[in-house]
């Protein structure tokens, strides 16, 4: 949510000259993206996003992220398309940072997603999984099962600063997940961070998916499990089965889940809740209270995790509440 790197008019004009995009008309630093600096750029040819990659992004990963956007875009997914400069490069240097220009997507992200949003999300997620086939680069999920215990070890002595009982909740759950994590599920390129602020809609139609900077190779169904956590709980972290049902129905209508994927959904959802509980807890303890980036309360994911622990099978994610 911040502009970490300032760019001057002269350096940006020179940078834009390297692309066949006409003349620079204007640019504004935008308050999007926790990790990188983003500018909205107008040239005589159109509107673009300029991203300057800050220190939390490993430069070695950039060819994967940018190549994936090109691959998905060519396969019909509405995602930002990196623009190639006059030499054919998508990555350049600006203001001491690696930088890329990508196409601008219209749309707004839903602050309070509706059932129709979850339905469209499910379809788009399945289309994205299919479109990723054939992408030649690989990237491991740094925040998958193998990464959770090392991350927990970094703050396990300080859990009482967040809430009582958190240490044992995480420790017990990690043991469960390490014992129960499914193997051999259908794999491919997943987004891995498909929260509502990464999905744009114009009215109720899905207009684009952005922010592929956690994308990696992992189980497709884990991506759905992330979305169950990110889209299907209300502001009080109560599960909303209508949204879960719509998400799964939308996904199934494009790419039917296998029996193994269906059986694994509760444990995958527990794992996805763990992943965000761990990163939020770490950030909570390591981000100054008055920092540029707002801290997100880990307690939301304690409640989600406990809900998933109560789930017996995937059918529970679509069950209508009885009052």
* Residues within the interface to a copy of itself (CB under 8 A): 1-3, 8-10, 12-13, 23-32, 40, 42, 105-112, 200-203, 288, 290-292
Residues near 74 by Cβ (< 8 Å), separated by ≥ 6?
none
Q: Contact 244/117 with Cβ under 8 angstroms?
A: no
**Alpha helices per DSSP H over the chain:** 9-17, 62-74, 115-131, 145-153, 166-180, 220-231, 241-254, 259-286, 299-309
In the bound complex, what is the minimum distance in angstroms from residue 89's beta carbon to a copy of itself? 24
CA separation for the pair 24, 229 (Å, rounded): 41
In the bound complex, what is the minimum distance in angstroms from residue 79's beta carbon to a copy of itself? 15
CB atoms within 10 A of CB 156: 15
Q: Contact 225/262 with Cβ under 8 angstroms?
A: no
**C-beta of 91 vs 105, nearer to a copy of itself:** 105
In the bound complex, what is the minimum distance in angstroms from residue 121's beta carbon to a copy of itself? 15
CB atoms within 10 A of CB 51: 28
**C-beta of 25 vs 74, nearer to a copy of itself:** 25
**C-beta of 58 vs 204, nearer to a copy of itself:** 204
**C-beta of 60 vs 294, nearer to a copy of itself:** 294
In the bound complex, what is the minimum distance in angstroms from residue 91's beta carbon to a copy of itself? 23
**C-beta of 26 vs 286, nearer to a copy of itself:** 26
CA separation for the pair 62, 59 (Å, rounded): 5
**C-beta of 44 vs 313, nearer to a copy of itself:** 44
In the bound complex, what is the minimum distance in angstroms from residue 18's beta carbon to a copy of itself? 17
**C-beta of 5 vs 156, nearer to a copy of itself:** 5
**C-beta of 20 vs 292, nearer to a copy of itself:** 292
In the bound complex, what is the minimum distance in angstroms from residue 143's beta carbon to a copy of itself? 26
Phi, psi dihedral angles at 46 (to 5 degrees) = 155, -165
In the bound complex, what is the minimum distance in angstroms from residue 280's beta carbon to a copy of itself? 19
Q: Contact 91/62 with Cβ under 8 angstroms?
A: yes
Q: What is 52-94 written as a DSSP string? A: EE-TTS-GGGHHHHHHHHHHHHHTT-----BPP-TTS-S-EEE
CA separation for the pair 66, 83 (Å, rounded): 10
Alpha carbon dihedral 97, 98, 104, 105, in 10-degree steps, equals -110
In the bound complex, what is the minimum distance in angstroms from residue 300's beta carbon to a copy of itself? 17
Helix (H) or strand (E) holding 210: none
């Amino acid at each position: 949510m911040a502009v970490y790197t300032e760019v001057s008019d002269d350096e940006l004009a020179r940078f834009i000259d390297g692309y066949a995009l006409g003349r620079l008309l204007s640019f504004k630093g935008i308050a999007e993206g926790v990790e990188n600096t983003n500018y909205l750029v107008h040239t005589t040819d159109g509107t673009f996003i300029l991203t300057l990659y800050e220190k939390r992004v490993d430069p070695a990963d950039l060819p994967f992220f940018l190549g994936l956007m090109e691959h998905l875009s060519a396969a019909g997914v509405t995602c930002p398309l990196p623009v190639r400069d006059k030499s054919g490069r998508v990555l350049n240097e600006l203001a001491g940072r690696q930088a890329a220009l990508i196409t601008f997507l219209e749309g707004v992200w839903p602050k309070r997603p509706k059932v129709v949003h979850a339905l469209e999300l499910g379809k788009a997620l399945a289309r994205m999984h299919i479109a990723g086939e054939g992408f030649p680069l690989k990237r491991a999920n740094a925040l998958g099962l193998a990464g959770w215990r090392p991350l927990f070890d970094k703050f396990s002595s300080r859990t009482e600063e967040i809430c009582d009982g958190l240490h044992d909740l995480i420790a017990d759950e990690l043991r469960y997940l390490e014992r129960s994590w499914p193997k051999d599920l259908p794999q491919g390129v997943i987004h891995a961070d498909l929260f509502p602020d990464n999905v744009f809609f114009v009215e109720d139609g899905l207009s684009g998916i952005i922010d592929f900077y956690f994308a990696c190779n992992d189980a497709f169904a884990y991506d759905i499990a992330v979305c169950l956590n990110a889209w299907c709980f209300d502001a009080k972290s109560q599960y909303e089965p209508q949204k879960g049902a719509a998400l799964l129905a939308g996904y199934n209508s494009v790419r039917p889940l296998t029996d193994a994927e269906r059986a694994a959904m509760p444990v995958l959802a527990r794992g996805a809740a763990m992943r965000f509980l761990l990163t939020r807890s770490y950030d909570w303890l390591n981000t100054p209270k008055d920092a540029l980036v707002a801290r997100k309360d880990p307690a939301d994911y304690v409640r989600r995790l406990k809900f998933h622990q109560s789930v017996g099978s995937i059918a529970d994610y679509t069950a209508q509440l009885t009052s």
